[in-house]
Amino acid sequence: MSQITINGIAYAFEPGETLYECVSRHLGDTEIPVLCHDPALEPFGACRICLVEVARDKGEAGRLMASCHTPAADGLHISTRGERLNRVRKGILELLLSNYPQNKLEPAADEIPSPFQKLLREYGVTDSRYPLEQEPGKPAQPHTYLRFDPAECIHCYRCIRACDEVQGQFVLSMANRGIKSHIIQGLTGDFGEAGCVSCGRCVQTCPTNALSDRYRAKTLRADHTVQTVCTYCGVGCNLEVKVKQGRVSAISAIEDAEVNRGHTCLKGRYAFEYVHHPDRLTSPMILRDGELVEVSWDAALDYIAQRLAAIKQEHGPDAIAAISSARCTNEENYLMQKFMRAVIGNNNIEGCARVCHSPTAFGMQQVYGTGAATNSIGEIPLADCLLVFGANPTEAHPVTGARLKQAAIQGADLIIVDPRRSELSKYAACHLQPRPGSNVALLNMLCRYLIELGYVDQTFVASRTEGFEEFSAKVMAQDLDQLEKTTGVSREDARHAAEIYGRSQRAMAFHGLGITEHYQGSRAIMMLASLIMMTGNIGRPGSGMNPLRGQNNVQGAVDMGVQPDFGAGYLDYKQPEIRAQFEKIYGTEIPTQAGLKIPQMFSAAREGKLTLPAMESETKAGSPQ
């Protein structure tokens, strides 16, 4: 086992680890100070504050080396602390302090210190021996959320690298050289004109307050913090909410969260002020004498129970329906569908998940046996081909979109299938623009060329699939002239896309509502799933099928049974043996008649057949679905 010795104790290191990564894993990430380093970014080695002493033999005088980009090697002896290192680090801090505002050495009374201020305290640096006269650069033009003070910039390049390596917007750069170097935003000093999308990653990584935001998310001294999951889209970014005086005051992305790794979008980071909007409901309300009156929760629950019981007794259980929400938790959705089936006595339970991604759940279940994504977005860097079908992830799923863009920049082949041009189209190796509604025809073209060109993984197909011969025969029987006419995609372009996908070693496919919200949505999903399977691009890291969900718990809502045709776990309650299991668990009989879907609910309500449609965390009046 390969080992290095850190402060006299031997530790194992992993292949490819830097000295800093190895030390941080064993002794914590505060053992070696850093300023220019961010684990989410490539090693840079600009500030040199992470210097450690490195020797080949025990007792030998060590050389000073930057730990953030020096690879660990067997037999090295590392010292992370000592008089020599303290002296060198203090000198580096003094150099950085030479043009730093003296009134910013300590945080304001209601703020926590920045990483730079913490290091100044730790090493006792309060002044600099190197007074220089330097123009710090001009403050940026006003931005809705971001604040830039060039006087506090220590030229660590973290903001530039975060914008380049994480979000891929390339908004920031360093102008000039030496004493005159300073951060610029595009050519005009305007964040917006330079293409800033307000993701805030530059702010979060900045080790000083050169970059901050209107909410002081980095430095605000909160009364307490809460970790939560963003509800805006299906990525599910992990967030830390700062609460002060009972109010949500700032939000940051959690650095070590696997799903987003310190990154989030404009909405996740900054769109939270609605929580305290004066028009927001703060208590239940009941309509009395034509006016909505605030009541207690006990009063509201009693009223709901009484009304439900009365309606059920007078009109029967079929007069009641419920619409649950993909923004609610699994537990809430499960209870909502159980309440309708076990208490009310019908299957009139539905949610937006069926409208937008029911074809995904059904189609993938038919082919794979499950309607869930087959791998995670964390595997995107492992793929050498990325197929994005009917989705615009940089707009609808920004964190996933940024990762796809970064992968394309790093050399992965990106195939876009979308009638529209999107931001990702600029990075695509191939962009197919089929006519709306022709997805199944296009997938038949792609499958045909994959078969013709010999890109079928025969070993995988023979050992892991069934029915391929019949599937292949039907695909090859399709009229290419008719497919070309139907899709508007030329044979050459379809063949080119098939070649790119087929020759890849690992391919991941992502799809959105552009493929599901069609009358043939389920068929298109089954064709896409079959295309993936016949090329063997499933069941391995960096390959698979990934639905891009519109809300944060679309998958969970359907899993929990928020659909009129199936119960929890996609179990068919119409089958006697499955219904018996449900009834044993629920302790009561459950209905067998299929429930109403959302459009049918509103039709029934207009016809007077449905007396009470109940909703859980949904607003259908403003929903395009």
Residue % of the chain over a pLDDT of 90 = 80
Q: Above 50 in pLDDT, residue 120? A: yes
Of residues 91 and 60, which shows the higher confidence score?
91
Q: What is the pLDDT of residue 385?
A: 98
Q: What is the pLDDT of residue 625?
A: 44
The CATH number of 3-81 is 3.10.20.740
Q: By C-alpha distance, which of 26, 25, 22, 28 is closest to 54?
A: 22
Going from the C-alpha of 397 to that of each of 361, 383, 405, 512, 549, the distances in angstroms are: 19, 19, 12, 10, 9
Cβ-based neighbours of 525, under 8 Å, separated by 6 or more: 359, 360, 362, 363, 364, 511, 515, 516
Domains 224-276 and 356-551 share a fold: no
Categorize the per-residue pLDDT at 141 as very low, low, confident or very high, splitting at 50, 70 and 90.
low
State the CATH architecture for 356-551: 3-Layer(aba) Sandwich (3.40)
Lowest-pLDDT range of 12-16, 32-36, 228-232, 370-374? 370-374
Domain ranges in the chain? 3-81, 102-213, 224-276, 316-351+562-622, 356-551
229-232: which pairs have CB atoms within 8 A and are 24 or more residues apart? 229/552, 230/264, 230/267, 230/268, 230/552, 231/327, 231/551, 231/552, 232/265, 232/267, 232/268, 232/271, 232/552
Question: Rounded to whole angstroms, how far apart are CA atoms 71 and 4?
Answer: 11
Q: What is the pLDDT of residue 369?
A: 87
Burial of 35 (0-12, 13-18, 19+ CB in 10 A): buried
Tokens, residue 574: 């119409």
Query: What is the rounded end-to-end Cα distance, in angstroms, of the chain?
Result: 58
Mean pLDDT of the chain: 92
Q: Could you report the per-residue pLDDT of 519-567, keeping only the tens digit for each?
A: 899 999 999 999 999 999 999 999 999 999 888 888 889 889 999 988 9
Mean pLDDT of 8-14: 95
Q: Could you report the per-residue pLDDT of 238-262, keeping only the tens digit for each?
A: 999 999 999 999 999 999 999 999 9
Cβ-based neighbours of 308, under 8 Å, separated by 6 or more: 320, 344, 612
Q: Could you report the per-residue pLDDT of 484-510, keeping only the tens digit for each?
A: 999 999 999 999 999 999 999 999 999
Q: What is the pLDDT of residue 110?
A: 87
Q: Could you report the per-residue pLDDT of 436-452, keeping only the tens digit for each?
A: 999 999 999 999 999 99
Estimate to the nearest angstrom the gap between the alpha carbon of 251 and the chain centroid.
16
What's the CATH number of domain 102-213, 1.10.287.3510, 3.40.50.720, 3.40.190.10, 3.30.70.20? 3.30.70.20
Question: Rounded to whole angstroms, how far apart are CA atoms 594 and 558?
Answer: 16
Domain 224-276 in CATH 3.20.20.110? The answer is no
Lowest-pLDDT range of 120-134, 277-291, 319-333? 120-134
Q: What is the pLDDT of residue 127?
A: 85
Cβ-based neighbours of 543, under 8 Å, separated by 6 or more: 375, 383, 506, 507, 508, 532, 536, 537
Categorize the per-residue pLDDT at 624 as very low, low, confident or very high, splitting at 50, 70 and 90.
very low
Question: Rounded to whole angstroms, how far apart are CA atoms 225 and 150?
Answer: 29
**Residue 530 and residue 447 in contact, taking contact as beta carbons nearer than 8 Å:** yes
Q: Above 90 in pLDDT, residue 362? A: no
Q: By C-alpha distance, which of 526, 208, 498 is closest to 365?
A: 526
Query: What is the sign, positive or negative, of the torsion defined by CA atoms of 22, 25, 26, 29?
Result: positive
Residue % of the chain over a pLDDT of 70 = 96
Of residues 95 and 620, which shows the higher confidence score?
95
Mean pLDDT of 172-191: 85
Of residues 354 and 359, which shows the higher confidence score?
359
Tokens, residue 364: 């993938």
Q: Above 70 in pLDDT, residue 390? A: yes
Question: Rounded to whole angstroms, how far apart are CA atoms 228 and 269?
Answer: 12
